[in-house]
Structure 1
Amino acid sequence: MIALTGATLVVDDALVDDHALVIRDGRIDAIVAANDVPVAAEVHDLTGSTIVPGLIDVHVHGGGGHSFDDPDPAAHQQVLDFHARHGVTTLQASLVSAHPADLDRQLDALALSVSANPGLYGVHLEGPYLAVSQCGAHDPAALRPPTADDADRLVARGGLITMVTVAPELPGVPAFTRRLTEAGVVVAAGHSEARAPELSAAVDNGLTHLTHLWSCQSSLVREGPWRVPGLIEESLASTYLIGEIIADGHHLPPTLIEIARRCLGDRLIAVSDATAGAGMPEGFRYRLGIIDCEVASGVGMVVGANAFGGSTTPLDGMLAHLHHDLGWPLPEAVAATSTRPARVLNLAHRKGRLTAGHDADLAVLTSALTVQATMRAGHWIHRAAAH
């Protein structure tokens, strides 16, 4: 039994002081008054710190110089270790678009990593079922519409694939979406020129998610005198879709983040979209698939193009940006980086909150919201200093 004392606890919408978090057998046993800590507990004094539920990143390509598209489980472990140092206890590995043979090799390797690492939840395919005109940092030569055979092959991987991003306007998307969602896969709209009819058809077949709002999404156009909303406007006006923002201080200005916050409310989550460039110095070169990118001015840029190449900021940096720079209450910023992402991955029954019965996944933060320590299932997986 472990008792974490002295810290401020972020418990749902409240900041709780003068209480201890009691952990037993990998789960949160109770939150008790500071003077009611069980005498048998091993006490860890965290005075001056803040404890939040472990961060959950549903869109991350890499970090610390390594990438999930490297078909080497050792590289995957390096990515996991990097994000653990930034408070992430659960993440979903994202892959950029690739040709079928390359994608199969990547998925074979990730199957080994998912089975060996409890913090690696599954795989998000950000493509190849995307619009060429909205490809961003994806290889346009690898993009194609989905087929029924594609859906069967992905489902046959037995739960490895947990999310797929599609452009709803591509032929075959409604049936593809239905097949995946019936198998428990989250289907997201992104990298798309879709308008309302195409989005509605995908939603009717189970699409529930939106990949990085404003990044590679169609927007308002005029057709004669008529204003025709794009994917971004349809997304913000929806009453059911869950949307991602890359809150790194580069991808989106504060105004757009505030619009998303007001429109989506508790259906808004933050994702890192972190790449191998996360945590690396200026000028570091990395690849997204076959696309060359570089760390420049604190963000990833496609080499030779005026386009972002993913993010170089891990999720704790997003949490700090939302709270310190944009003024979000800390519990709301935590909800966007932990509680709500747990719902996206259907893990809300055991992750994303500091409450009795949930997994003892948590991050210990300084006042600047930098990570001092990270715990998963009651075991420290990162400690910057002895506690």
Structure 2
Amino acid sequence: MARYAMTGARVVLPEEIREDLAVVVSGDRIEAVLPAAALDGVPRVDAGGRYLTPGLIDLHTHGAAGHGFDQGEAAAWAAVLAAQARFGVTAAQASLATAPLADMADRLALARTFAERDARRTEEAPRAGARLLGVHLEGPFLAPEQAGAHDPGLLLRPSGEAVGTLLAAGTPSMITLAPELPGGIEAVRRFAAAGSVVAAGHSQAAGDVFAAAVAAGVTHLTHLWSGQSALTRQGPWRVPGLLEESLASDGLTAEVIADGRHLPPQLLRIAARCLPGRLCVVSDATPGAGLPDGSPYRLGALDCVVRDGVGMSPGGAAFAGSTTGLGPMLGHLRRELGMSVPEVVAMATVTPARVLGRRDLGALRAGCLADLALFDDDFGVRATIVGGRWLLDEDGLREGAA
């Protein structure tokens, strides 16, 4: 069992950055976080002054490097997770765009077998990418008015039969749905009771419907400003939409896509002020992530293209996910909003771990999984470590350590 200590790093903690600490890794866990001066007899890896953070957690990602979770092949899923590790991501949900119900059920079943295989990893057959946290169903129970890059012809009402079909295939770790649809509130209850995190998104829900959805089990809000209804007027009366309900909410967590395309800095700043400590940054990355402009890719049932550094739907009427990884998004938040390093790191570690109820992830704390990342000053990824194993080492830091 490998045992080593990360030293010489700027260790990013929730409230501060420390330069005098060592993070001791033993096997796949963090053994201790202690003053480097107290180390005795543990092989050291000198991080050379880079930021050391918990591994990033991407709650909402569809693919990368030409591969997508919508593909019904374990090899494609493994390729996405391997590509995610190059962005500093050590754990991710497999987000599925709207597709025929049977296909989405098949992907849920695939996730179950994928997880079983992952649990049998050995030193001889190690994990090659980020760990899979479960499946995030983004559809098919979405509002047609807020379909975005989802094929409107495949959207469904959340009937008892449709919900049952999905749950019989496997429980999603998260589902995004429109609770205002007929059967929507009951669907929230059923998925929440099964153990899914239920998020409101691609939705018009507001007012009494929004309140009923929260009471039924909605705890999360999918990508603010994307697929959300907004303020309208009825005569002289101003009526909040899902966006305003989200920003005014108490206790709910929410996502933003910080790729420099989806949201201008002003909107990111509003979200950070309204939801302090409850805001996650997600990539919403697609198979186009990491590909050059002009590259085609498929998202769910739609053929899309990388254009001007973002995914575009057919005809260019809507964004079709991002083409940016999570690590670069932290650099964007730091530069454009002037947020502190602990603040932006928390948005991709502590908060998403809390959304999923995973106390073993997202923190540099004894007993947590040894999922770590090293970044340069602008959040360029230098190393990614999953379960104590180095998947990316741009600077050859691991050489010489046990």
TM range (shorter): over 0.9
CA distance in structure 2 between the partners assigned to 1:362 and 1:227 by the alignment:
47
Residue 142 (structure 2) aligns with: 130
Structure 2 residue matching 1:180: 3-state secondary structure: helix
Q: Secondary structure at the match of 2:218?
A: coil
Instruction: Report if aligned partners of 1:12, 1:354 keep a CA contact under 8 Å in 2.
Output: no
2:149 paired with 1:148? no
Q: Structure 2: 5+ residue runs without aligned partners? A: 120-130, 398-402
Distance 2:80 2:18 in 1: 32
Counterpart among 367, 371, 385 of residue 377 in structure 2: 367
**Secondary structure of 1:337 counterpart:** coil
Shift, 1:158, TM fit? 4.5
Q: Return the alpha-carbon distance in structure 1 between the equivalents of residues 100 and 284 of structure 2.
A: 21
Aligned to 1:164: 175
Partner amino acid for 1:288? L
| Partners of 2:98 and 2:301 within 8 A in 1 | no
| Stretch of structure 1 that moved more, 315-324 or 114-123 | 114-123
Q: Counterpart in 2 of 1:27?
A: 29
User: Given the alignment of the two structures, is residue 351 of structure 1 paired with residue 376 of structure 2, yes or no?
Assistant: no
Higher mean Cα deviation, 146-155 or 219-228? 146-155
Q: How many pairs were matched up? A: 384
**CA displacement 1:197-251 (0-9 Å, x = unmatched):** 2111111111111110000110000111111100000111111211100011110
**Which residue matches 1:339?**
350
* 2:254 counterpart of 1:243: yes
Q: Which residue of 1 aligns with 2:123?
A: none
Counterparts of 1:1-387 in structure 2 under 5 Å? 1-39=3-41, 41-117=42-118, 119-159=131-171, 161-347=172-358, 349-387=359-397
| Secondary structure of the structure 1 residue equivalent to 2:353 | helix
Asked if structure 2 preserves the Cα contact closer than 8 Å seen for 1:71 and 1:110, the reply is no
2:164 is matched by which residue type in structure 1?
D
Instruction: Measure, in 1, the Cα distance between the counterparts of 2:115 and 2:315.
Output: 35
How far the C-alpha of 1:132 sits from its partner, in A, is 0.8
- Please say if residues 11 and 355 of structure 1, whose CA atoms lie closer than 8 Å, have aligned partners that are also in contact: no
Q: Matches of 1:62 and 1:386 in 2, distance apart?
A: 27
Alignment partners' CA distance in 1, 2:36 and 2:144 = 57
- State the secondary structure of the residue aligned to 1:266: coil
Please give the alpha-carbon distance, in whole angstroms, between the structure 1 residues aligned to 2:214 and 2:134: 23
Contact 2:105 2:165 in 1 (8 A): no
User: Which 4+ stretches in 1 moved above 6 angstroms?
Assistant: none
Conserved? CA contact 1:23–1:378, under 8 Å: yes
Q: Measure the CA separation in 1 of the matches of 2:97 and 2:387.
A: 30
Secondary structure at 1:31's aligned position in 2?
strand
- Residue range with higher mean Cα deviation, 162-171 or 26-35: 26-35
Alignment partners' CA distance in 2, 1:21 and 1:236: 37
RMSD between aligned residues:
1.3
Q: For the Cα contact (< 8 Å) 1:286–1:292, is it kept in 2?
A: yes
Distance in 1, matches of 2:284 and 2:185, equals: 26
| TM-score (normalised: structure 2) | 0.93
TM-score where L is the length of structure 1? 0.96
Aligned-partner Cα distance in 2 for 1:334–1:366: 13
SS in 1 for 2:106: helix
Distance 1:115 1:274 in 2: 25
Identity of aligned residues (%): 49
